[in-house]
Amino acid sequence: MTRLFGTNGIRGVVNKDMNSELAMGIGKAWGTLLKQTIIHPKCAIGTDARLSNHMLKSAITAGLLSTGCDVCDTGMLPTPTLQYTVKEKQFDAGVIITASHNPPQFNGIKGVASDGTELSKDVEEAIEKIYFSQHFSLAEWGCVGAFSTWDGAIDLYIKGILSTIDTTCIKKQRFHVVLDCGNGVGSLVAPLLLKKLGCTVTELNCTPDGTFPGRHSEPIPENLTELMENVPEANASFGVGQDGDADRAIFVDERGKYIWGDKSLSLVGKYITRDLKGGLTVTPVTTSTCFEDVISKNAGSVVYTKVGSPIVARVMMEKHAVFGGEENGGLIFPGFQYCRDAGMSLAKILEILAKEKKPLSELIAEIPLYELVKTKIVCPNEKKQLVMNQVAEQMQHNKDLSRIDRTDGVKLYLKDGWVLMRPSGTEPIFRVYVEAKEKTRAEQLTIFYKNLVNSLIQHA
Ligand code: MG
């Protein structure tokens, strides 16, 4: 069966692979599935700021209504805001129309379960199966779903965040924050949230605009140069940049230095496990060792998963984790909800700064430093499995090897670092990650393992 759902829902270029027929079909298929277990399902729907949001929202809404599901339109909002709404307002399902940080010509459909988490692979596959079979159970004329709108989601979400953090402590500090929402839907939440926390806000690109006129949407260093320049100029406490649907937040210290997601993840993990005197945390195998270092120091533990935030969130739920997230700025706060959440990340960083009374650069300098090199190698899809098995086999005899992990690809734990070779799910490439204490060592290992994998590919 052809797969529609990828790591983060269904994505594609508008009116090419992401069109209204597909959206309506997904609506019908999902509605059919929901009706199998729920008599009168209620779904919440929302969108990011992309130009095709109404087109896709209307189509998927029509599909859901045709099967007898009620649909409540919550308007334009961040993904975590919709997720929180589904959980708190007891919807049976949620849909967010977003392509996250992808270029403006893209859009996507992401499904949310009744507990606010992203849909599990099983549910996605069940939707796909119905979609391809075209066996939709359409409602009788008098039983089609009812449509309503609700504009209280953002207010509900902000109130929810404020109830989980120490607002008094934050307000006292009168922080000045430079905020770059990249014209994404974080613009509808973050400025308001910061003002409620007594912060002075310098706004960059804080008008939602689906053409992304200010900068590219992904919060990587090359896209946050304006933010990095503005923070020291404004004499601000720190800066924060979000992606298009505001589930990821990246921070910039008071000197304008970009903080990698591993570091902010570790910083938050450090204070959560310190306050709880331990606890289990969850992160994918791609995360830097600095995370495990700070967690172990607080008597906490780390469970590593495959790459993908829905996987991290589900493992966190199963194992009652106290914290988790990805190394790309996607932090998950289980006390609030099981999904990546830029609004909650921002509030938590403010709380840590307020309590520690140290500049962000100083707090980050306390996190152990590692050099992580990320690169890729071209490899035909049909050779991937064989090459990975051969790498694992050859490495058995390497005297530097302490352990091989097969959670996602092959991860080799060496005496002075680790190497991860992960086949891409969508492209004919291996992603190669190498981490060591010294930069030269990381580069040396990268060359060695790239050569090894290349020669295995040639002979496979
Ligand atoms: Mg996103």
Condensed to tens digits (0 to 9), the pLDDT of residues 12-45 reads 999 999 999 999 999 999 999 999 999 999 999 9
Q: How, if at all, do strands 337-340 and 331-333 pair?
A: antiparallel
Helix segments in 151-284, DSSP class H: 153-164, 167-173, 190-196, 225-233, 261-276
Q: Which CATH number fits domain 371-459: 3.30.310.50, 3.40.50.11610, 3.30.930.10, 1.10.10.10?
A: 3.30.310.50
Name the residue with tokens 């059919």: 32
Indicate the CATH number for domain 10-151.
Answer: 3.40.120.10
246: pLDDT strictly greater than 60: yes
CB atoms within 10 A of CB 381: 13
Q: Name the least confident of 251-255, 272-276, 388-392.
A: 388-392
Condensed to tens digits (0 to 9), the pLDDT of residues 269-324 reads 999 999 999 999 999 999 999 999 999 999 999 999 999 999 999 999 999 999 99
148: pLDDT strictly greater than 80: yes
Q: What percent of the chain has pLDDT over 90?
A: 88
| Helix or strand holding residue 29 (H, E) | helix 20-37
- Check: CB of residue 102 under 8 Å from CB of residue 426: no
Name the residue with tokens 């050779």: 383
The CA distance from 137 to 143, in Å, is 12
CATH topology of 10-151 equal to that of 154-368? yes
One-character DSSP codes across 365-432: HTSPP-EEEEEEEE--GGGHHHHHHHHHHHHTT-TTEEEEE-SSSEEEEETTEEEEEEE-SSSSEEEE
Distance from the CA of 342 to the center of ligand 1, in angstroms?
Answer: 9
The CA distance from 85 to 185, in Å, is 16
Distance from the CA of 86 to the center of ligand 1, in angstroms?
Answer: 18
Conformational region of residue 7, where left means phi above 0, alpha means psi within -120 to 50, and beta covers everything else? alpha
Of residues 435 and 2, more confidently modeled: 435
- Check: CB of residue 263 under 8 Å from CB of residue 325: no
Residue 397 burial (CB < 10 Å; 0-12/13-18/19+)? Answer: exposed
Condensed to tens digits (0 to 9), the pLDDT of residues 353-379 reads 999 999 999 999 999 999 999 999 999
Amino acid 399: pLDDT: 82
Q: What is the mean pLDDT of residues 57-65?
A: 98
The CA distance from 381 to 138, in Å, is 40
Of residues 387 and 259, more confidently modeled: 259
| Helix or strand holding residue 344 (H, E) | helix 342-356
Amino acid 2: pLDDT: 63
Confidence of residue 400 (pLDDT cuts 50, 70, 90): confident
How do the domains of the chain map onto residue ranges? Answer: 10-151, 154-368, 371-459
79: pLDDT strictly greater than 90: yes
The CA distance from 384 to 80, in Å, is 35
User: What mean pLDDT value characterizes the chain?
Assistant: 95
| Helix or strand holding residue 11 (H, E) | strand 10-13
Distance from the CA of 329 to the center of ligand 1, in angstroms?
Answer: 10
Set 20, 52, 58, 100: catalytic member: 100
| AA letter at 325 | G
Distance from the CA of 6 to the center of ligand 1, in angstroms?
Answer: 14
pTM of this structure: 0.95
- Check: CB of residue 41 under 8 Å from CB of residue 92: yes
Condensed to tens digits (0 to 9), the pLDDT of residues 187-229 reads 999 999 999 999 999 999 999 999 999 999 999 999 999 999 9
Distance from the CA of 399 to the center of ligand 1, in angstroms?
Answer: 41
Amino acid 156: pLDDT: 98
75: pLDDT strictly greater than 70: yes
Confidence of residue 262 (pLDDT cuts 50, 70, 90): very high
Which tokens in the block code for residue 61?
């809404």
Q: What is the mean pLDDT of residues 453-459?
A: 88
Q: 100 catalytic, yes or no?
A: yes
| AA letter at 407 | T
Amino acid 1: pLDDT: 55
Conformational region of residue 100, where left means phi above 0, alpha means psi within -120 to 50, and beta covers everything else? left
Q: How, if at all, do strands 200-204 and 176-180 pair?
A: parallel
Amino acid 396: pLDDT: 79
Which tokens in the block code for residue 297?
């120091």
Q: What percent of the chain has pLDDT over 70?
A: 100
Conformational region of residue 330, where left means phi above 0, alpha means psi within -120 to 50, and beta covers everything else? beta
Q: What is the mean pLDDT of residues 380-402?
A: 86
Amino acid 20: pLDDT: 97
Confidence of residue 424 (pLDDT cuts 50, 70, 90): confident
Q: Which of 181, 187, 163 is nearest to 77 (CA)?
A: 187
C-alpha pair distances (Å), 111 with each of 117, 147, 270: 9, 18, 31
Distance from the CA of 246 to the center of ligand 1, in angstroms?
Answer: 6
Which tokens in the block code for residue 345?
């990340």
Q: What is the mean pLDDT of residues 350-354?
A: 98
CATH class of 154-368: alpha beta
